[in-house]
Structures are given as structure tokens and as C-alpha cells.
Amino acid sequence: MQVLQYEQSDFSRSNLNAIIREGRDIWLPREFMLVSEWAEQTRYVSRDESGRPGQWDNSLMPFAVEPMDAFVDPIVGRITFMGSAQVSKTEMMKNMIGYTIDHDPAPMMVIYSAEDDAREFSTEKLQPMLDNNECLYNKLAKHAVTSKENKTLYKKFFGGFLAMSGSKVPQKLARRSLKYVIVDDADRVGTAGNEGDSASLAFERTESYALLGRKYMEFSTPTIEGASRIKASYLLSDQRQFYVMCPFCGTYQTLKFGYPDSEYGLKWEKDKDAFGNTTKHYPETAKYMCEACHELIDHRYKYEMLAGGYWQAKYPERIAHRGYWINRLYSPLSTWGMIVEAFLGKKDDPTEYQVFLNTYLAETYELEKAEELDETGLLERVEDYRTKENPCIPNNVLLLGYGIDVQGYGLEMQVLGFGKGREPWVIYYQIFAGDVKQDDVWDEADEYIQKTAYIREDGYRLGIAFKPRIHHPVFVDASDGNTTHEVYAQCKKRYLKGWLAIKGQGGQEVPAIYRRTHVGKDKRTLLQVLGVDAIKNLLYQLINLDKSPNKLHFSSAVCDLNYFKQLTNEKGEIKNDRKRGRIVEWVKKKPGVRVEALDTWVYAYAAMLNMRPNFDMIEKRQQEQLKIQKSELPFNEQAEQEEQKQPRRKVIRRRVI
């Protein structure tokens, strides 16, 4: 890269002085400066980056100062930052990058789990900072269409470069000599093909800077206990936490969410009935209870508390590895009431509760121990609905989801009912035997789905319900390679009847409803990809939440011992995968036991999630339809119903001669 490029006509006295000044600025030794000092003196935050534009102000995020300054501490070789959302992880990274470009140039790399994530960071987060700070913009190679020195994933500057990469591109991680390696969203970074761990592979390229202040930095929210990279790294560090002072008693403490039964943490007003049960929450009244004096601290004191806070290490002897942990209670961008509101909205849904733990509290989520579930004990929890004595389904069931697993002997289908809060009921289980490569068995299953309605206790007939091309309540597994093409063809034929081909994808980071793609020979068949691991963990959560408002209900007419053996025959194990790194893998507990009941449950639940139902609106509409049905009954049908309510009398018919 040519930094000093001038035309011959530019060599006037004034231009010569400018050249001399620029050369002097480049070659003079740099005075020592902290990253936080550089940011406050130099960095301008534009409107493209923040809703609060202006000069960077360290007082807004006091807890970010020390982690940034550790970047230039010659004793520190590794920095681990485990934090929730809204605690400036990305802004700290950007300040470290800006400091390197402007004040202490060196080669550095930022690693993401996927190249698309790296591109998003470069275009949406980093580029606005580079464009709006002249001290950075002028030191980058000039951008051009044919330029190889200023691209989306590569920025060259005098004395170094910034490379950004996905973790699965080993040639990009191994070909450069680096001084700084930053791993963002570390819990989702995998391996570089067969080359091994991506972050370790990149860190090996810092060997030439081993005595010159190399740094390895990890930023992430934690995920699953036992599989979280950032949690494991934090435990190896000096384990720093941010202490703040109570404005009433002066005791320094860390901010913890606590829980409704804790003696400290967030507290808020509630309405209770005569039995002591909470009937209503008021999250806007949330205050923090001091663990020492038990005074309730209002949110308006948070800024004062943060300003006087400090980081304290649990293991100060681990001087080379700094570890920082902080949750969203410290964030000035989130009030304590907002955190309580998020907790109340997510606590009863295990998948949402995991999000709350990870992104609000910066805590890992513990997988349910499926091996501890006793199938014989589950038999004691069956309920009497859909039986000969009680053929109806509960009034709380508002929507149906259908899951179909394709086997060589036919189709196995499970029907789940759902109510408010996604409360699930097992309604029906059926095996449609036949050759899945012929239409007969598919037609039989389709006819059952389209024509069968289940009678609720209030008389409402509940059958399949969906909006064509939008909702698909019938999910059919297409992951078996022997029957994939048959599933595609049959689902394409019944697309307007609510059928959709699906395929599962492992990984705790994959959301339950992941992405859609077009498949088949003509690429006109829709395929829904599911995050099956997330739904399986949800199932075991629901099984264990026997007293939860949205617990799982089992019908005694459907759920026998064999059903429960299949339903609980998998468990999550932490494994090291060559391609994906440390992962959670679901394996069978007993190899000889099938798992179709588990698979079809997962597909039916996913079908409900795919429809994104508004249960309040569904209930209101069904009640209106029920009133209309009862009011529009023919006269003789009304009389027949009234007669059925009366005791039957014996009628003697006389033969007329």
C-alpha cells in the first residue's frame, strides 16, 4: 500500500511541508495511550451506529473501560468477556479495532461463526465507524471496485490489516501472521473443517508476536451448560465481576436477578388472592433489594452506582488471563422493570426462558436430564380424555398440530392439541400401514386428517384449520434418504391442504423454526428446516414441569408404556465434533427402543410454532362460531337434543291390522 502518493505538480513549498509533517507523524514513536482514552478523545459515534450520536463517553458504560484497557496491558495475553446483550460487547470490539488502526497498527483478525455474520458486522457495525472518523478513514487503503486492499472482509492500513472471517474457512485462518485475534459470539464458533478448532488455529498465527504483546480475545453470551466455550474460558480466567455500591448502606455487591423467593435482587409489586396465589404482576414497579440492608433501590440510582463501580477478580493470581462477567441488570439501556417484564413473558416457556438466561442474565442453560425420566412414573400422569367413558377433548384445546414420520412399513402420525400458552395435549396416535411409495397410504392419512374432527366438552368440533399457502399444520419428515423423493412429491400434491415437508437440523443454537428452502427436481417443493434439539429439550422441560401452567397432558387412550419408552428414549450428551466443535448431541438411551413417538411429537409441536397462533383470537372466534351453531340448529335437531337430556320412556308400539 502506498501511503504517500503525490503528483509531480504537488511539490510546492506548502505541500512539501505537509509531506514532512505526515512522515514525521508516521515514524515518530507513539506515546502510550489506553483504549478508553483513545475512544473518548478521538472516536465520534454517528447516527448510523447509535441512537445517541456524538463523542464517545466512557461514563455511559463505566464497566466497559477496564476490559478495553486490558487490550494494551502487556501482562495480559487473553481476555474473556462473558456478558448479556446491551452491555457494549460490539462497541468495545470496535474501539479496540479503531485504536489499532489509528494509534498502534498491527495485523488483526475478527472471527465469526459464519462468513455471513462477518459480512454483517463489517457493513452494518464497523463501516459506519470507519466512514465517520477521519482519523480512521484516511489511514485505510482507498476503496475501489478492483481493490484487493479495502474489501468487505479485508481492510489494509499502514502497518497492518484487519481481516474478518467465518470460522469454517481454514485457509483464511492459517495463512496470515497476526498480533490480535478477536472471536465474537464465541459459543457459536465451530471448527475449520478437518483442521481443528477455528479460534485455536487463528491463535497459532500469533506466534511471531509472542513477545510483542499478542492478544486473544473472546466475546459472547453463554449458551448450554457444559457446551459453552465462553463459560469454560471464563472459569480458567481470574473471574472478575463488577461491584457497585448500595446508595443507602454503602455495601459493595454484584447485581443479581435473584428470583421471587430470593432475599435480594429485583422485587416488584403483585396482586394476590385469598390463598396467596399471585394474580397480577406490576413489572414497572421493580426495584433492586440490597443484600445487606434490604433497602429497595430505584432504577434512577443505577447511573450513580455504575459510576462508583469497580471490577474485582476472584483469582487475582491469574494475571495473564482476564475474565469479565456481567449481566443486563448493569445496562443503562435497560430498566429493571424491562428485565422483570421479559422474565414474566418467558418464564413459562422453556425455549424462551433459555433466551432470558443467556441474553439477560448471562447465565448458561442446563439441559434437562432425560435419563432421569421414568416412563413407568409417567403412566401415573395420564388423564381420562378421548376414552370410551369420556370421548371428548378438553375445552382448553384450541388448535391441532399433526406430525408424521415416514417408515418403510407406512406412516406414523401423532396429533397434538394446543391451548393458551402453547399448553399441549396428546390427542391421537395412529400407524397407517402400507407402501409409502404408493399413493394409497398417503391418501388414507390425508382423508383422516381432512375429515376427522374431535368433539370438545362444550360441543365444538375441532378439526384441521389453516390458511392456504400460509399455515401448514401437517409436518412430514423428509430426512430419510430412502423416502425423501416420495415425501416431496406427496407434500407438493397436498400443499394447499396444509402439508409441508420438513427436515431436522441439530445444534442448540438452531431455532425451532429455522429456515425454508425449495427442493425437489423442479425446485418447487417447499422444505422447512427445524431446530429439533431445541424442541426435544423443550419436551423434557414440559414433562418435568408437572405443576406448570403449560404442562404436557397425556391421554390414557393413547399413551401406554411403549409410548412413554419411545418418548423418553433420548438424552443430550456433550461431545466434541470435528466439524462443529463442542456440541450437544441427542443419543438413544436404549438402542433397541424406537423413538417415533418422540419424533412425531417434535414435528407436531413444530407445526404449531410454524402457524404462530394467537390463542386469544382463536378462542374468541370459536366461541362465536359455537353460539351460531347452537342458534342455527334445525327445530327437530333442537328437540332431539332436548329429548336426549330427558329420561327415556319405554314406548310400546302396537301393530295396526
Dihedral (C-alpha) 140, 142, 148, 152: value to the nearest 10 degrees? 70
In the predicted model, what is the mean pLDDT of the chain? 85
> pLDDT, tens digit, for every residue of 340-398?
999 998 887 766 788 899 999 999 987 755 445 667 778 888 999 999 899 999 999 99
The domain tally of the chain equals 3
Q: Is residue 179 part of a domain?
A: yes
- Supply the pLDDT for residue 373: 60
Containing structural domain, residue 175: 32-60+86-220
Domain assignment present for residue 356? The answer is no
Q: How confident is the model at residue 468 (pLDDT cuts 50, 70, 90)?
A: confident
Nearest 5°: the CA angle 226, 229, 232 is 65
Q: Are the CB atoms for 602 and 539 separated by under 8 Å?
A: yes
Query: Which of 170-184, 307-321, 451-465, 525-539 is least confident?
Result: 170-184
Q: 446: domain CATH number?
A: 3.30.420
Whether 10 and 49 map to the same domain: the answer is no
The reply to whether 504 and 555 lie within a common domain is yes
Q: Would you state the pLDDT for residue 649?
A: 41
Please name the residue that has the C-alpha cell 429455522: 514
Find out whether 39 and 49 touch, Cβ atoms under 8 Å: no
Are 192 and 207 in a shared domain? yes
Instruction: Give the span between the Cα atoms of 528 and 515, in whole angstroms.
Output: 6
- Asked whether the predicted pLDDT for residue 606 surpasses 80, the reply is yes
- Give the pLDDT band of residue 489 (cuts 50, 70, 90): very high
The pLDDT-based confidence of 455 (bands split at 50, 70, 90) is very high
d(CA 226, CA 412): 35
Q: Please state, in angstroms and rounded to a whole number, the distance separating the CA atoms of residues 140 and 186.
A: 28
For residue 579, the model assigns a pLDDT of: 57
Domain co-membership, 18 together with 167: no
Indicate whether 447 and 561 sit together in one domain.
yes
- Mean of the pLDDT values across residues 235-255? 97
Q: What is the pLDDT of residue 651?
A: 37
By residue count, the chain amounts to 657
Hey, what amino acid is at 278? T
Whether residues 26 and 40 share a domain: the answer is: no
Task: Tell me whether residue 597 is in a domain.
Answer: yes
Structural domain ending residue among the three candidates 169, 197, 220: 220
Contacts of 503 (CB under 8 A, 6+ apart): 477, 478, 479, 527, 528, 529, 530
Q: Give the CB-side neighbour count of residue 58, counting CA atoms within 13 A.
A: 20
What pTM value is reported for the model? 0.74
Residue 451 within a domain: yes
Q: Examine the pLDDT at 219 and tell me if it is beyond 50.
A: yes
Place of cell 377433548: 393
pLDDT digits (tens, 9 = 90+) for 400-449: 999 999 998 999 999 999 999 889 999 999 999 999 999 999 999 999 99
> How many angstroms separate the CA atoms of 201 and 26, rounded?
32
C-alpha cell belonging to residue 287: 426495584
Q: Flag whether pLDDT at 601 surpasses 80.
A: yes
Asked if 242 and 84 count as a contact pair (C-beta separation under 8 A), the reply is: no
**Do residues 596 and 475 share a domain?**
yes
Task: Scan for cell 459515534, then name that residue.
Answer: 45
Please, which pLDDT band fits residue 635 given cuts at 50, 70 and 90?
A: very low
Q: Is the pLDDT of residue 645 over 50?
A: no
Give residues with Cβ within 8 angstroms of 241, minimum separation 6. 254, 311, 312, 314, 325, 326
**446-453, Cβ contacts within 8 angstroms, sequence gap of 24 or more:** 446/494, 446/497, 446/499, 448/413, 449/402, 449/474, 449/497, 450/497
Domain for residue 382, yes or no? yes
The more confidently predicted of residues 500 and 523 is: 500
Q: Nearest CA to 589 among 570, 567, 575?
A: 570
Q: Is the separation of the CB atoms in 214 and 77 below 8 Å? A: yes
Q: What is the CATH number of the domain that holds 124?
A: 3.40.50.300
| Closest by Cα among 406, 393, 395, 241 to 316 | 241
For range 522-534, the mean pLDDT: 88
In a shared domain, residues 424 and 506: yes
Domain assignment present for 333: no
pLDDT at 148: 77
The neighbouring-strand residues paired with 288 are: 266, 297
Last residue of a domain, one of 189, 220, 251: 220
**What's the pLDDT at 640?**
46
In a domain, 629, yes or no: no
Residue 382 sits in the same domain as residue 503: yes
* The residue type at 237: S
C-alpha cell at position 94 = 470496535
Check if the beta carbon of residue 58 is closer than 8 Å to that of residue 65.
yes
> 17 and 161 share a domain?
no
Q: What is the mean pLDDT of residues 603-621?
A: 94
Q: Give the pLDDT band of residue 553 (cuts 50, 70, 90).
A: very high
**Is 312 within the bounds of a domain?**
no
404 and 472 in a single domain? The answer is yes
* Low-confidence winner among 162-176, 248-262, 519-533 (lowest mean pLDDT): 162-176
549 and 440, same structural domain? yes
Name the strand (E) or helix (H) holding 607.
helix 596-611
Share above pLDDT 90 across residues of the chain, in percent, rounded to a whole number:
58
**pLDDT value at residue 115:** 86
For the stretch 265-318, pLDDT in tens is: 999 999 988 877 888 999 999 999 999 999 999 999 999 999 999 999 999 999
Residues with Cβ within 8 Å of residue 27, at least 6 apart in sequence: none
62-119 residue pLDDT tens: 999 999 999 999 999 999 999 998 899 999 999 999 999 999 999 999 998 888 889 9
